[in-house]
A and B are shown apart, each in its own frame.
Chain A
Amino acid sequence: MITEKDVTFFAEKCQRILDEIGKDLVGQQDVVENTIIAMIAGGNILLEGVPGVGKTRLVRSIGRAFSLPFSRIQFTPDLMPADVTGTNVIEKDANGQNVLKFQKGPIFSNIVLADEINRATPKTQSALLEAMQEHSVTAGGHTFVLEEPFFVLATQNPIEQDGTYPLPEAQMDRFMFKLIMTFPSRDELADIVTMTQKTMQEQAAAVLTGEDLLVMRETAKEIPVMKEILDYAVQLITASHPELEDAGDYTKKYVRFGASPRAAQALITAAKVRALMQGRYNVSYEDIDALAYPVLRHRIKPSFAAITEKISSDQLIRHLLAEIGKKKKGK
C-alpha cells in the first residue's frame, strides 16, 4: 500500500537523479526527463540524434545515477544474435567430460545500451525482441529470466542511412519512447566544451538502487487517472488509425498505420510517472499531451502523401492532439 512517505521519496529521488545527470549533460532537459520517466515506468527508449549530441553519454550517466549494471553493445552489420544474447560453449566438467554451458551475452544486464541499433541486421535486431518485451532470453532451448529492472536504451543516427537496416515495426513498438536529441544551442555548446576540457569521465553519483526504482514504479502505478483522461488517451490512439471511425480526414490522408495498443498503455503509465515527478497525485490532460510525442512518433507510420509533402510524425501528432482537444472542449 502506497503511503505519503513513498510519494515524498519518489519526488526527492527524481529531483536528485535530474541533478546528477545535469552534472554530465548540458541542456536536453526534456530528453533527460522523459528518459527517467520511461525508466521508472519500465519502458525501453530509442534515442535518435546526430553523432556527438550526447546519446551515449546520457545513457552512461543514467547507468551511474541508477547504480545499476550497465552493458554496451555496438551494433554493426556483422553482429550476430548470439553476440547479444549469449551462446552455448563446450566446457569440461569436473569429470573431464565435455559439456555445453550457456555463456551469457551482454543483454544480461540491467541497463543495456544498444548503440547504433540500426546498423545491425534485422536478424540481430530481433534478438532483442524477447528481452525487451518479456524480459527473458531463450537460447539453446532454455529460457533465462533477466534481472529486474531491465531497460534497453538504443540509439540511432538519422543520417548516414547507407548500410543500415531500419527497425521493423514490431521492434519499434517495443520502445516506450522515441526521444530526439537536438543539436545544442550556442550557449549549451560552449558549456559542453568547457565541461569536457576538465574531464571526459561522467560525474553522476549513484542515487538510486534497482530496488528503489521498483518501489518508485509501484508507487506510480497507484496514481489515479480520471475516466475522461483515460478516454482522451484511448481516443488519441484510435484517432491515429486511418481505418477506424474516430480518424479524421487528415489522418486518413497522411497516416498509413496507427499506434498500437501498447501506445495507450505506455501513454497512461508514463503519464502517471510524469504527474508524480511534477508533484501531482493525479494525471492531467497536460501529461497526455506532453507525452504523446515521445510515445507516438515512432508508432505512427506516415503515408506516402505525408512523406512527399514532408509532413513529419510530430506534425501528425500535433494535428491529432488539436483534433481530439477540440472534441474534448466540445464536451
Chain B
Amino acid sequence: MNISAQLRPYKKKLLWEAFIKSFLSSLTLGSAAVAFAGLLLRLQNAGPLLSYSLASGGFAFLLSFPLFLFLRDYPTGKKTASRLDSLGLQDRVSTMLEYQNDSSPIAEIQRHDTLERLKKVSPKDLPIRIRKRNWIPCLICLALAAAVLLFGHVTPDTGKTEDTARLQRESVMADMIEELRREVEEAPIPQPLKEALLAVIDQLEQDLEKIDGQLQETATIDAAKRKLEQILEDALTRKPIGTALQQYADTFDLGEALFEGESQPVQLALKASIEEQLTEPDSVDTYINSLSSALSACGVDPSDSLYGAIETFADDLALAEKNTLNDVYEKARTSIEEALTQQAAIEALKETIAENMSSAKDTLLGYHRIDLADPDLLEQGGDNPLVDITTDVIWKDGQSGGNGAQHNAGTGVGQEDADSPSMRVLVYDPETGLVTYGKVLSSYYARYLADVTAGKIPKELQQIIDSYYIALN
C-alpha cells in the first residue's frame, strides 16, 4: 500500500500554503534587510540609499525564500499527516505513516481504518492556514522599510532642532533682503537700474520663501547674487559711460579737440570710438563694443582700469578750456564727472551687495571667517577652538613653506612666519583663487540644479551627485 500516493492530493494543497508562508517570511526578512540597510546607509551617509537598500532586501528575499520553502515549510509526509489529523482524524494518519512498514494485523487494521476515514476528507476540506505570526511581522517590516526609504533624506536631527535652525536661517535671509533693499534704494544710481535691482531682490525673496534647505537656499542666493552683479556690471560698462559720451556723439569738434590734445592711447581709442559712433548713432552696443575693443587694444583691462581711463579723459577735457569749444568741454566734463560718480556708486553698491550676500550665505552655511585683525587669537594655535575652523583657510603663498597655497590639514597648527618664527599666522588669500568649500558649494550646487533643469544630467547620476553634495554639506 503506497501511503505517500494516498497523501499526494493533500500534499499538493499544502504546497500552496507552504509557498505563501515562505513568501511572507522571505518578504519579512527582505523588508527587514531593506529597513536595516537603509537605516545604516542613512546614518553612515554611505552610497545611494534606495538602490543599496533594495538590493540588500532583494538579496535577502531571494536567498531566504528557497530556504524557508524547502527547509521549513515544505509539506513533508509527517506535516501532511499532522494537518490531516487536525481535521478530526485523531492522529490516525500520523500513526499510519509511522507504522507504514509494520505488517502486524493491528497495523493493517489501523491503516485500513485510517484510509477509510481519509476517503471522507477532500483536499478542499484542508484549509490554507496563514497565521497572524506569518503576516503581521511581514506588514510591520514592510511599513518599516517603506518609512526608511521615504524618509531617508530627512535629516536625523530632532524636529525641534531643525525648526530652530530653520528659523535662524529665515531670520538671516530676511535681514539680508531688507539690507539689500535699503542699500539699493539709498544708492545714487539711475531709477531704471534701481528698479531692475529691486525686481531681482523681490524675486529672490519669493524664491527663498518657496524652498527649504540650507543648500538650496544658499544656491538661490548665489544665483541672485550673480544676477545682481551682472546687472551692475552691465551698468558699469555701458550705461553711464555710454550715455555721457553719447551726448557728444554728434559733436565733431570733440574728436578734433581730443585729437589735438596729448595723444594718449586711451584718448585715441575714445576718439576713434566717437567717430565710429557718429557713423551709426543708433547703435549703442556697437559703440560700446568698439570702445571696449579699442581699450583692450591699448592694453587697458576694461573691467579694472576703465575708470582710470575715463578720469584721465575728463582731466584732459579740463585742460582744454582755452579751446574754442570751451563751453562744450565744460558740459562734457560735468557730464562725465556725474557719470563717474554714478560709476563709483554702482561699484560701491556692487561690493556692498556682494559682501552682504556672501556674509548671509556664509552664515547660512555655518561658515565663520577668522578675524585677521586679532593676531592674539591666531597665536593660540591648536588650543584655540577657532583654529579648527581654519582647516578650510588657505595659506598665503610664500608663507606656507611649500609651493603655493595649501590647507592646514586640520591640525590647527599654522605655518611659521619668516620674520617671526615663533608666531603662527593664518591668512586667507583671496588672490590665490583657492577658496573653501563653504564658499563655493552653493554656487556649484546652483549650477548643478540649472543643469538638472536643463536636462543635461542623467537621472541615474543625479542621486549620486545629490549624495555627494549632502556629504560635503
Contact = CB atoms under 8 A, between A and B. Distances in A.
A283 to B, nearest CB: 7
A285 B91 contact: yes
A227 B98 contact: yes
A188 interface: no
A224 B95 contact: yes
Interface stretch (A2-10, A72-80, A87-95): A2-10
Given A224-B99, A281-B113, A286 B106 contact: no
B50 interface: no
Interface string B236-258: 00000000000000000000000
Contacts of B96: 282
Contacts of B107: 224
Interface string B395-412: 000000000000000000
Contacts of B99: 224
Given A224-B99, A228-B94, A281 B105 contact: no
B223 to A, nearest CB: 65
A283 B98 contact: no
Contact of A3 (B85, B105, B110, B114): B105
B90 interface: yes
B106 A281 contact: yes
A283 B91 contact: yes
B90 A280 contact: yes
A218 to B, nearest CB: 11
B90 A284 contact: yes
B94 A224 contact: no
A155 B307 CA distance: 128
Nearest to B89: A284
Size band of the B side of the interface?
10 to 19
Contacts of B90: 280, 282, 284, 286
B109 interface: yes
A190 interface: no
B466 interface: no
Contact of B94 (A222, A223, A226, A286): A226
A1 interface: yes
Nearest to A280: B90
B109 A281 contact: yes
Interface in B375-403: none
Contacts of B109: 4, 7, 281
A282 B110 contact: yes
A205 interface: no
A229 B107 CA distance: 16
A281 B110 contact: yes
Interface of A: 1-4, 7, 222-229, 280-286
24 contacts: A1-B104, A2-B104, A3-B105, A7-B106, A222-B106, A223-B106, A224-B98, A224-B99, A224-B106, A224-B107, A226-B91, A226-B94, A229-B91, A280-B90, A280-B92, A280-B113, A281-B92, A281-B95, A281-B106, A281-B110, A281-B113, A282-B92, A283-B95, A286-B90
Interface of B: 85, 90-92, 94-96, 98-99, 102, 104-107, 109-110, 113-114
Lowest 9 CB-CB distances: which A-B pairs, in order? A282-B95, A281-B110, A284-B91, A284-B90, A222-B106, A224-B99, A226-B95, A2-B106, A226-B98
Given A226-B98, A281-B95, A282-B114, 12 more contacts: A4-B109, A222-B106, A224-B99, A224-B107, A226-B95, A228-B94, A280-B90, A281-B110, A282-B91, A282-B95, A282-B110, A286-B90
